[in-house]
Each structure stands twice: as C-alpha cells, then as structure tokens.
Amino acid sequence: MFETFDFNKDGYIDFMEYVAALSLVLKGKVEQKLRWYFKLYDVDGNGCIDRDELLTIIRAIRAINPCSDSTMSAEEFTDTVFSRIDVNGDGELSLEEFMEGVQKDQMLLDTLTRSLDLTSIVRRLQNGEQDQEGAGGGAAEAAG
C-alpha cells in the first residue's frame, strides 16, 4: 500500500502525498479509486493482476479492515472476481478488464469499495488520539 501512495517514488510519503492519498481514499471518484485499487492489487507492477496477487491483498485487507457482512472467504471472493471479469480467461486481469468489469458488477464494486473504505479506521485513529492526547482534528481534517 505504501508504494501506491509514494507518488514520486522517493521512499517517503511526504505531507502532500499523505493528503492526496487520504483525499483519494475518502473522497475519490469511482474511476480514481478503481485505478488505485488496481495498482494496489498489482503487487509485482507488471500491469496485470493474477489470482495470487489478488488473494494476497484481499487477505491482507481483511486482516486490517474485516467486512462485517462478508459471506465469502478470500479464496471464494478471488474466484468470483476472476469468473466474472476475466473476459479472455487468461488468468490475469488487465487494467481495462478490471475497470470495466468491476464497474459493471455492482456486487464486486460494493465489496471492493467497502473493503477499502478506510473512514472507520480514520475515525478509530481520530477517536484514539482524542482519548489519549485530546487532539481534535488529526488525519480526517487534513483530508477534508
């Protein structure tokens, strides 16, 4: 996830990159979020997402932000994604397949969006700061 927010690839996330990342995650348009999701899932950066990449990231995301209404395992969800949007059946998702397929499938769009919705995590962090330090704004104010 770090690499997708390090826009200038200098090994650091500076304040502007941090604000831009929060803005994208919290307020970005669907197309912007899907492009970011694709970069996140494309672990090796080869321009395609394979099953192992998607499964690895889905597992990691669920570990930090479990979907309360998730009825499918990470493996089942990965299989569903590929069966629904891997149009050419090559076992990899191109950016085009991913963007078009997810936008046309409301269940996939809702599930991916909900799994990467960080607003609850930002709220928990913000509330934790307020409880511990009496800080008021934190990351949420910086983003908005």
How many domains in the chain? 1
Residue 9's pLDDT is 76
Q: How far apart, in whole angstroms, are the C-alpha atoms of residue 138 and residue 131? A: 12
Domain that includes residue 79, residue range: 30-143
Cα(120)–Cα(117) distance, rounded to whole angstroms?
7
**Tell me, what DSSP letter sits at residue 69?**
T
Residue 24 belongs to a domain: no
Residue 33 has a pLDDT of 84
Residue at 106 is within a domain: yes
Residue 39 counted as domain residue: yes
The per-residue pLDDT string of the chain (144 residues; one tens digit each, 9 = 90 and over) reads: 566 667 677 887 776 666 666 666 667 788 888 988 898 899 999 999 999 999 998 888 888 776 655 678 899 999 999 999 999 999 999 999 999 999 999 999 988 887 776 666 666 666 775 544 444 444 434 434
Does residue 122 form part of some domain? Answer: yes
User: What contacts 82, CB < 8 A, 6 or more positions away?
Assistant: 51, 54, 91, 93
Establish if 117 belongs to a structural domain.
Answer: yes
Beta-bridged to residue 49, according to DSSP, are 93
User: Within a domain: residue 68?
Assistant: yes
Tell whether 1 is covered by a domain.
Answer: no
pLDDT of residue 82: 97
According to the model, what pLDDT value does residue 7 have?
64
50: left (phi over 0), alpha (psi -120 to 50) or beta: beta
Q: Report pLDDT for 136.
A: 45
Q: What are phi and psi of 49, to 5 degrees?
A: -110, 125
Taking the CA atoms of the chain, what radius of gyration do you get in angstroms?
Answer: 16
pLDDT at position 79 is: 95
CATH number for the domain harbouring residue 70: 1.10.238.10
Q: Is residue 70 part of a domain?
A: yes
The predicted pLDDT at position 52 comes to 96
pTM of the model: 0.68
